[in-house]
Amino acid sequence: MVDPSLVRPEIAINDFLPIFISSALVMVFGGFYVGIYTAVKVQMLKKWAMPLAYLFWLLTAYCLYVMGSLIHVGEFTAKALVVAMVGYLLLPHAVYYMQHQVHEENEH
């Protein structure tokens, strides 16, 4: 007999398009977040654009939440998605922090 706690509800046929759209928007908005963040850090955009990058991160997190709720992720997977989004928020900060430290150490 199958443990009832392991059985997930089926995905409704009407949810396939919203799942597809929200998962595609995760990639699009995530790309805008990293792109704008990078453009500000390398001074291609003014610093006032940085809140726009964080807005795209919020949109990415929201779309990931929508996708996860529509596909009925389990408790562990939901926690993993939260950790992934926090990591995605912090990773560009870590990259540019390390780049700045290397540049400071190797100043000509």
Domain boundary assignment for the chain: 12-105
DSSP class of 108: -
Average pLDDT over the chain reads 91
Rounded average pLDDT over 13-24? 93
Q: What pLDDT is stored for residue 107 in this prediction?
A: 73
CB of 63 closer than 8 Å to CB of 26:
yes
Separation CA 60–CA 8 (nearest Å) = 25
The answer on pLDDT for 56 being more than 80 is: yes
Rounded average pLDDT over 19-41? 96
Which residue type, as a one-letter code, is found at position 63?
Answer: C
Separation CA 12–CA 69 (nearest Å) = 12
Q: What pLDDT is stored for residue 9 in this prediction?
A: 75
Residue-wise pLDDT for 70-85, tens only, equals 999 989 999 999 999 9
